[in-house]
Structure 1
């Protein structure tokens, strides 16, 4: 008996204390969904926002289909009893206050405006999920993508206009603006003093005369009026395919690890048009 006790004690001293269970986390927002899906283990994710499976705005839509979708209210989150709920500062205030009132630990994220802010949010989510090593690896990937983009495109100095449906233009403080700036390209919207974004007319676009249009989708089919704007004959005449680059919205709707993919795609697209 004494010998067995000594063996057990030796094993405990060798292995040390067991690691605490990793926190179970729920996400209320499509952007916190992306951070959580990129950094947490699947077993840590108890639920995602109602837009997590939306292919248009969710970069990890396919992975999100493996997890429950939350209603956006506090009730189903409280039933799941997560250790932490991650949310955006733009999510419904009443829901966030109700969660706090019920003792839920809430971590709120703002909209990042720079690469440094994106990296800070990745680090923060890594800390929340107890996945610091994974977060640091994703930050290293973003840094590598920034270096590659600057080395490849930094001398081109093209004036690029990020243009979406109905004439919406992404400004300097948008995530598309961040991608262009980090790649060493100029956002033509800066000349109109557009911060987050604004609608401009077809005439305004043609008067601005950007070198390249940056669109969120390719193709020549107009499903509705918003899409028809991008296919207007005047734009087609002055901006044929070799003056258009495409970066899907799901890479720039949110700030996160997908920023590296957005930068790599921008480099590839700029090489394709060969300017």
Structure 2
């Protein structure tokens, strides 16, 4: 479907202008910023500059920020709007009714799906060579991580606010599994994601927990869960692998950085 959209907006190789694109979602923002020419980007989502959600927050400061509604996109009239299937359905349908071309991306659950989306965005912006280069870098990062994990059959548990566990069928789990680590969430019966009790986490006894922040302060009750005395006792800093959310919340080229951070963290905790 996405390749068909690319064909509808022209062919850069034939000398026509490259498509002008607006993004409605923080994940499509990051793919677009990585693969498109700056002049192709008409606008980004309202979360594009959020450094906690976006790996490319600094780069996003150069571009117009959209409201999330249809009005400002219609004023810009891009050749293609890139969006998530989780963006507001009514807005997406209105843009389609007005004649705009939408390329809608799902939530990837595996590295293979991530690579497919990188290729799809490369086709939309008409820079497939850049997409291929990013995939090659991601593959190289996977190799580095596998070498770091070799012969270490660690059981890890990705854990975040209020005891939320990234399940065995989540993107983060796929990332860990690709390196040779084992996501213990499956032992809790968690597939895509779910909450686990403090007792269940402690009884599970994973080798490490994977968290997004190494801080020792809690700004709210959700964060305070990770600083509970029981978790701090069994999972001090030496038992916590820290990978910031902005490196794993989306499927894209930032996963290369996530894998390199994982390698560094394994080097730290395995000492």
Which range, TM-score by smaller chain?
over 0.9
Instruction: Give the aligned partner of residue 68 of structure 1.
Output: 64
In structure 2, the residue matched to 1:27 is 23
CA distance in 1, matches of 2:41, 2:169: 31
Match of 1:144 among 122, 140, 145: 140
Aligned residue for 1:132?
A: 128
Aligned to 1:12: none
Q: Is the aligned partner of 1:91 residue 2:76? A: no
1-structure distance, mates of 2:85, 2:209: 32
Distance apart, 1:154 and its partner CA:
3.1
From 221, 229, 241, the counterpart of 1:245: 241
SS at match of 2:156: strand
Compute the TM-score of the two structures, normalised by the length of structure 2: 0.93
Secondary structure of the residue that 2:103 maps to in structure 1? strand
How far has the Cα of 1:111 moved from its partner? 0.5
Q: SS state of the match for residue 46, structure 1?
A: strand
* Structure 1 segment 1-275 matched on structure 2, within 5 A: 19-274=15-270
Structure 1 residue 44: Cα displacement: 0.6
How far is 1:193 from its partner? 2.2
Uncovered stretches (5+) of structure 2, i.e. residues with no partner: 1-12
User: Is the CA contact 2:35–2:121 (under 8 Å) kept in the aligned structure 1?
Assistant: yes
SS at match of 2:180: coil
Residue 93 of structure 1, CA deviation:
1.2
Which structure would you say has the larger Rg? 1
TM-score between both structures, scaled by the size of structure 1: 0.92
Q: How many residues align?
A: 259
8 Å contact 1:142–1:259 — kept in the other structure?
yes
Post-superposition Cα deviations, 1:84-115, rounded to whole Å, max 9, x if no partner, equal: 00001111111111111111111010011111
User: In the TM superposition, what whole-angstrom CA distance separates every residue of 1:223-255 from its partner, at most 9, and x where no partner exists?
Assistant: 111111111111111111111110000011100
Q: Distance in 2 between matches of 1:178 and 1:260?
A: 13
Distance 1:179 1:190 in 2: 15
Note the aligned Cα RMSD (angstroms): 1.2
Name the SS of the counterpart of 1:267 in structure 2.
helix
Shift of 1:172: 1.5
**After the TM superposition, which segments of 4 or more aligned residues of structure 1 sit over 2 Å from their partners?**
none
Structure-2 separation of matches of 1:56 and 1:195: 25
- Aligned mates of 1:228, 1:137 — CA distance in 2: 41
Unaligned runs of 5+ residues in structure 1 are 1-16
Deviations 1:103-136 (A, max 9, x none): 1111010011111110010000001001111110
In structure 1, what is the Cα distance between the partners aligned to 2:14 and 2:109? 40
Alpha-carbon shift at residue 71 of structure 1 (Å): 1.1
Structure 2 CA distance for aligned equivalents of residues 207 and 51 of structure 1: 38
Q: Rate the CA distance shift 1:112–1:18 in 2: closer, same or farther, 3 A.
A: closer
1:18–1:201 Cα change, 3 Å: closer
Distance 1:166 1:31 in 2: 24
User: In the alignment, is the contact (CA less than 8 A) between 1:113 and 1:174 conserved in 2?
Assistant: yes
CA shift for structure 1 position 218: 0.7
